[in-house]
Amino acid sequence: MLSQQTIDVIKSTVPVLEVHGEAITRHFYQTMFTAHPELLNIFNHANQKQGRQQAALANMVYTAAMHIDNLGAILPAVRQVAHKHRSLGIVPEQYRIVGTYLLQAIKDVLGDAATEEILTAWGDAYQVIADAFIGIEQDMYSEAANQTGGWDGFRLFQVAKKVQESEVITSFYLLPEDGKSISSYQPGQYISIRMQVPGQQFTQIRQYTLSDAPGKPYYRISVKRESGAPDRPDGVISNYLHDHITEGSLVELSAPAGDFTLDMEDQRPIVLVSGGVGLTPMISMLNALTESGDQRPVTFLHASPNGQAHAFRDHVNRLAQEHTHLMVHFCYTAPSDADLQNEFVYRQGYMDAAWLRQVIQEPDANYYLCGSAAFMRSVYAELLSIGAASDRIHYEFFGPKASLSPAAENV
Ligand SMILES: Cc1cc2nc3c(=O)[nH]c(=O)nc-3n(C[C@H](O)[C@H](O)[C@H](O)COP(=O)(O)OP(=O)(O)OC[C@H]3O[C@@H](n4cnc5c(N)ncnc54)[C@H](O)[C@@H]3O)c2cc1C
Ligand code: HEM
């Protein structure tokens, strides 16, 4: 238990640390990676270079510190991170390393302002926060390992089938190399894949959402090739998967994780909204709903640049023909000549409030949203404006979680 005095010191210094937040975490990562280069095997280097991970960790530590006397109030946020940590294989010993370098960074950046009292209070508070994460992650590790077909850490899978779904998205069907069963999962969950790419010094870990309904003997992931813009390098793992991972290749996977899952209890209609490769969780959810015979109204909205980039179009259209309670609408921002000649129906343009109002029959629904950060911010605001309740808009970032509020555009 922290003393009231420690709690007061923490709460009064959070604003000071927030001012220096990114400087502290940047310094923290630099010193930690210098002393423990082995940790570069688990951190995403692209996120580091773009400062995305720094922002995520800093925000989480300050949020936790503000709620230090009632961490239960931020339990959903802690669980979301714990899912990610569990899929990465983070262990308690690493919390000690993070704590040491975080505290050192606070001391180095604040200089004389970091009194002994402040440093002791933050050391104690970090321990409380770390213990909360470690406890939750321990339960998650046990659950993942002890369920039927479950496992601990990473397990070898073989690519049984590779299917091109569009010009930019390819699916990989993965079977466990040991031939044993695999754990089930909830639609919307992801696995982490760990790879050693030739020419790269460190192993790389990335998350990919399982794109089919659970209950199959395989896991399927559907990966978009991340081609770098002129001033950016090509994505390391997505390109390696597309170009070098073939049927028969072996890859290492964590057990499924994640809290972006379909709420099967609530009987409201369901609206699945995706942009680009953000459709992978929606396909898993849609398949699970249609395969289970669920009769709730489902609206499937998908935005893509054009028909060539658009994955699973025929599949979704076929489901819409078979299930009268499923409504499907597509939006193309840059239809190709082939699209313009096609009799296939899509809206040309963006998902704006006027159009969403037309296609969503019952706004009192559960919404599931996934796509680029810019897409989600825009659609989130439009959904609120048509009367969607914010606590029923569930969303997933394909990177460190960030805010969807307009003020957070640069995060
Ligand atoms: C929960 C979750 C689920 C996901 N599900 C899916 C899914 O179903 N399908 C899918 O395709 N993806 C999914 N992703 C995204 C996926 O994990 C990867 O992030 C994605 O494939 C890119 O990985 P990469 O190794 O190809 O790119 P990286 O090498 O990690 O690069 C990522 C981006 O950063 C840019 N970049 C790299 N270095 C720099 C630099 N120095 N400066 C500026 N920019 C730089 C690259 O150009 C690229 O655009 C998911 C992510 C999460 C967190
Ligand atoms: C109390 C301590 C910690 C806090 C508050 C914290 C917070 C976070 C947050 C907020 C994220 C982003 C989650 C998301 O994707 O939305 C994250 C991801 C991550 N964390 Fe932690 N973390 C802590 C400890 C650790 C430790 C001990 C390690 C291991 C050394 C670790 C390694 C990672 C990695 C590798 C990622 C993913 C990075 C990426 O994909 O860029 N974290 N953490």
The model's pLDDT over 13-56, given as tens digits with 9 standing for 90+, comes to: 988 888 888 788 889 999 999 999 999 999 888 777 776 666 77
The model's pLDDT over 271-326, given as tens digits with 9 standing for 90+, comes to: 999 999 999 999 999 999 999 999 999 999 999 999 999 999 999 999 999 999 99
The model's pLDDT over 185-236, given as tens digits with 9 standing for 90+, comes to: 999 999 999 999 999 999 999 999 999 999 999 999 999 999 977 888 999 9
Cβ atoms within 10 Å of 75's Cβ, excluding its own: 14
Cβ atoms within 10 Å of 202's Cβ, excluding its own: 15
- 3 state SS of 103: helix
List domains and CATH numbers for the chain.
Answer: 4-146 (1.10.490.10), 155-253 (2.40.30.10), 270-408 (3.40.50.80)
CA distance 82 to 78: 6
Span from the CA of 288 to the centroid of ligand 1 (angstroms): 26
Ligand 2: residue of 29, 50, 60 to mutate (most ligand atoms within 8 A of CB) is: 60
- Tokens 């159009």 locate to 355
CA distance 52 to 32: 17
CA distance 42 to 11: 31
Is residue 269 within 8 A of residue 298, CB to CB? The reply is yes
Tokens of 320: 């819409």
Model confidence at 401: pLDDT above 90: no
Task: Confirm or reject: Cβ of 206 under 6 Å from ligand 2.
Answer: no
Which is nearest to 224 in space by CA: 157, 304, 158?
Answer: 304
Task: Confirm or reject: Cβ of 90 under 6 Å from ligand 2.
Answer: yes
One of 29, 126, 137, 240 is an active-site residue; which one?
Answer: 137
Q: Can 137 be counted among the known catalytic residues? A: yes
Ligand 1: which residue has its CA nearest to atom 4? Answer: 208
Of the bound ligands, which one is closest to the alpha carbon of residue 197? 1
State which H helix or E strand residue 31 sits in.
helix 21-35
Q: Can 291 be counted among the known catalytic residues? A: no
CA distance 189 to 219: 11
